């Protein structure tokens, strides 16, 4: 990458970061301007990158034979593969999606949507079993863990807590039978409390993730951006 | 009570100052031991550099989670490159594409500076497959493929994979000794858990998740579907420390610095929570 370009990229990124952070002080036109830029870029970036990094180099270039070099003596670096023209079929099929804008031919778009739904449902069905069965199997844990003919108390307590939590939370969501007795109610309530503990850990980890992002941005501003500004000013 | 009417911007200023101090001073504290990151380190360390075998690493993260997934991916790829295990990089997330190029180049430069005379070469030590769409459908086709070079065709720079020594002979899932995946997107991670295996072979699987998804990721570690896990930046920092212990000439990386800032921010938050509760209790006792 050109050094000047890289430098100005860092400066621009710093300005954009500060603009977004300026919202912390109060809503302002500087923030609003960069927010709109960000939304516009996000929308455009995916389609541009899809074409630049996938559709063009991996589909169109080989299909059109643009990767074949013709030498001065007329020979080619490799023969053209006519079967690559078959890429046209899924390309055209995918393009049918745009008929969603036509009242008359919207049914053509439904073919693509139906195909996508069918494929997704099939994958989800297969994926569910591949993902959940090992977890179901691993939830059968011994309540007393023996190691070298001795009880591993720590692991045993851990397994007991695991099994209790599993059953209590499942019971909380079991709505077919009304929990009337005091034991049932307490068991169900403990399921709710254990879920609260889980949500608390989720919240804590969310705060941790957000702060990690903030630290990285501050590092960028305080070190990379300031250095880039200094380089420009000195130059 | 003045605390009740404290401008939130004052709190932001405190957080900014607390986080800036270690960054500006380059101050770092030893990361806490993370058992799951230890497991990840061990599986990478046990991955042998064998002919016809390679590590398949998926960077499924963008700028939004780069702070956590970036250092995680860096330490693992560095570890593999140090051990001369060929790395095939890949992504299902289009915004990760620049990282597939920049991270191995950054590691190559650091390793070559640390070990003059040794070279890490594109095509031999790492190959970048670039961004590929298809999500679960593509992941599912990897274990079914009888030749991965035919499935992927070309690398990120349009070079046919068969031109690289690693892909001269047909390669299948069984040639993948280690799968590493780094993401904050649970859906993409699920695709690997669900489909990246055959009935008789499953590569060793290490995952780097963001802090938000740690509680979910532990489930897979407990069930044995994962063999190693880096939990957010804390996992990356511990992994980095293990690498520095094993390779003393290694220069410190970003993971420990960010982790230090994070630790200080947590202390500040805990202090503010305690302060808020105490002032709240005092205010209530005074009937405020």
Which of A25, A128, A222 comes nearest B23 by C-beta? A222
Contact list, A219 vs chain B (CB under 8 Å): 23, 254, 257-258, 261
CB atoms A49 and B130 under 8 Å = no
With 70 as the cut, is the pLDDT of residue A225 above it? yes
Min distance B52 CA to chain A CA atoms (Å): 25
pLDDT grade for B73, boundaries at 50, 70 and 90: very high
Instruction: Note the pLDDT of residue B253.
Output: 83
Q: What is the mean pLDDT of residues A191-208?
A: 91
> Is ipTM > 0.95 here?
no
pLDDT tens readout for residues B6-59: 888 888 888 888 888 888 888 888 999 999 999 999 999 999 988 889 999 999
Asked if residue B287 belongs to a domain, the reply is no
Assign B138 a pLDDT band (cuts: 50, 70, 90).
Answer: confident
Is the pLDDT reported for residue B80 higher than 60?
yes
Q: Which residues of B touch A196 (CB under 8 A)?
A: none
Which residues of chain B lie closer than 8 angstroms to A217, CB-CB? 67
Which among B12, B70, B130 is the nearest to A24, CB-wise? B12
Domain range for B195: 32-254
Average pLDDT over residues A180-202: 91
Q: What is the pLDDT of residue B288?
A: 58
Phi-psi region of A65 (alpha: psi -120 to 50; beta: other; left: phi over 0): left
Rounded to an integer, the average pLDDT of B87-110 is: 93
- How many structural domains comprise chain B? 1
Q: Which of A23, A58, A141 to mutate to test the interface with B (most CBs of B within 10 A)?
A: A58
For B:46-75, CB contacts with A below 8 A are 64-68, 70
**pLDDT at residue A30, as a whole number:** 94
DSSP letter for A76, please. B
The arithmetic mean of pLDDT across residues A40-67, rounded, is: 84
With tokens 């101050």, the residue in question is B27
Residue A1: CB atoms within 10 Å:
8
Q: Is residue B131 part of a domain?
A: yes
Q: Which chain B residue's Cα is nearest to A136?
A: B223
Chain A, 92 to 151: residues with Cβ < 8 Å from chain B are 119, 123, 126-128, 130-131, 134-135, 137-138
Residue B78: in which H helix or E strand, if any? helix B66-82
- Tell me whether residues B137 and A57 touch, CB distance under 8 A: no
Q: In the predicted model, is pLDDT for residue A199 greater than 70?
A: yes
Evaluate whether residue B22 is within a structural domain: no
Q: Cβ(B208)–Cβ(B236) under 8 Å? A: yes
Distance CA B171, CA B173 (A): 7
Label residue A230 by pLDDT band (50, 70, 90): very high
pLDDT for B2 equals: 67
Q: Is residue B236 part of a domain?
A: yes
Which residues on A lie below 8 Å from B232 (Cβ)? 205, 208-209, 212
Residue B260 belongs to a domain: no
Smallest CA-to-CA distance from B183 within B217, B214, B204, B209 is with B209
Output the average pLDDT for chain B. 91
Mean pLDDT of A49-72: 85
Kindly report the nearest CA distance between residue B119 and chain A, in angstroms.
22
Interface contact flag, A215 B261, Cβ < 8 Å: yes
CATH of the domain at B54: 3.40.50
Residues B235-249 have pLDDT tens digits of 999 999 999 999 999
Computed over every residue of chain A, the mean pLDDT equals 90
Q: Is the dihedral of CA B241, B243, B249, B253 positive or negative?
A: negative
């Amino acid at each position: 990458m050109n050094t000047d370009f890289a430098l100005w990229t860092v400066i621009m990124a710093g300005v954009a970061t500060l603009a977004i952070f300026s919202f912390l002080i109060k809503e302002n036109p500087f923030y609003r301007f960069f927010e709109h830029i960000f939304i516009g870029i996000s929308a455009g970036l995916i389609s541009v990158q899809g074409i630049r990094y996938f559709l063009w180099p991996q589909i169109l270039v080989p299909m059109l034979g643009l990767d074949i070099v013709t030498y001065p003596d007329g020979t080619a670096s490799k023969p053209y593969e006519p079967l690559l023209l078959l890429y046209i079929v899924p390309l055209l099929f995918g393009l049918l999606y745009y008929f969603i804008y036509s009242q008359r031919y919207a049914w053509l778009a439904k073919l693509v949507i139906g195909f996508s739904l069918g494929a997704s449902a099939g994958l989800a069905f297969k994926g569910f079993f591949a993902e959940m069965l090992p977890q179901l199997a691993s939830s059968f844990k011994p309540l007393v863990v023996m190691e070298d003919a001795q009880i591993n108390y720590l692991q045993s307590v851990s397994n007991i807590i695991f099994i209790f939590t599993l059953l209590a939370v499942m019971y909380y969501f079991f709505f077919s039978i009304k929990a009337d007795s005091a034991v049932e109610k307490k068991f169900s309530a403990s399921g709710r409390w254990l879920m609260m503990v889980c949500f608390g850990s989720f919240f804590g980890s969310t705060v941790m993730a957000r702060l990690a992002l903030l630290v990285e941005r501050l590092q960028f501003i305080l070190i990379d951006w300031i250095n880039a500004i200094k380089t420009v000013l000195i130059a | 009570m003045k605390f009740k009417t404290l401008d939130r911007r004052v709190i932001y200023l405190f957080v900014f100052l607390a986080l800036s101090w270690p960054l500006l001073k380059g101050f770092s504290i030893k990361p806490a031991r993370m058992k799951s990151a230890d497991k990840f380190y061990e599986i990478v360390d046990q991955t042998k550099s064998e002919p016809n075998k390679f590590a398949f690493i998926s960077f499924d993260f963008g700028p939004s989670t780069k702070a956590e997934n970036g250092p995680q991916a860096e330490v693992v790829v560095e570890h593999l490159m140090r051990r001369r295990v060929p790395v095939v990089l890949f992504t299902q997330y289009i915004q990760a594409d620049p990282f597939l190029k920049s991270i191995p180049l950054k590691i190559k430069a650091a390793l070559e500076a640390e070990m003059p005379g040794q070279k890490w070469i594109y095509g031999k030590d790492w190959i970048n497959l670039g961004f590929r769409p298809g999500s679960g459908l593509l992941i599912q086709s990897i274990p079914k493929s009888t030749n991965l070079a035919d499935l992927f065709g070309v690398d990120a720079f349009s070079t046919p994979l068969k031109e690289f020594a690693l892909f001269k002979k047909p390669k299948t899932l069984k040639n993948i000794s280690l799968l590493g995946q780094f993401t904050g997107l649970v859906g993409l991670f699920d695709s690997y858990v669900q489909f990246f295996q055959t009935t008789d072979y499953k590569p060793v699987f290490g995952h780097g998740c963001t802090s938000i998804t740690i509680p979910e990721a532990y489930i897979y570690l407990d069930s044995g579907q994962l063999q190693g896990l880096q939990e957010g930046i804390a996992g990356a920092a511990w992994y980095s420390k293990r690498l520095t212990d094993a390779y003393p000439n290694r220069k410190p990386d970003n993971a420990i610095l960010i982790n230090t800032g994070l630790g200080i921010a947590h202390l500040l938050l805990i202090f503010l929570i305690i302060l808020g509760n105490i002032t709240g209790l005092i205010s209530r006792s005074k009937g405020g």
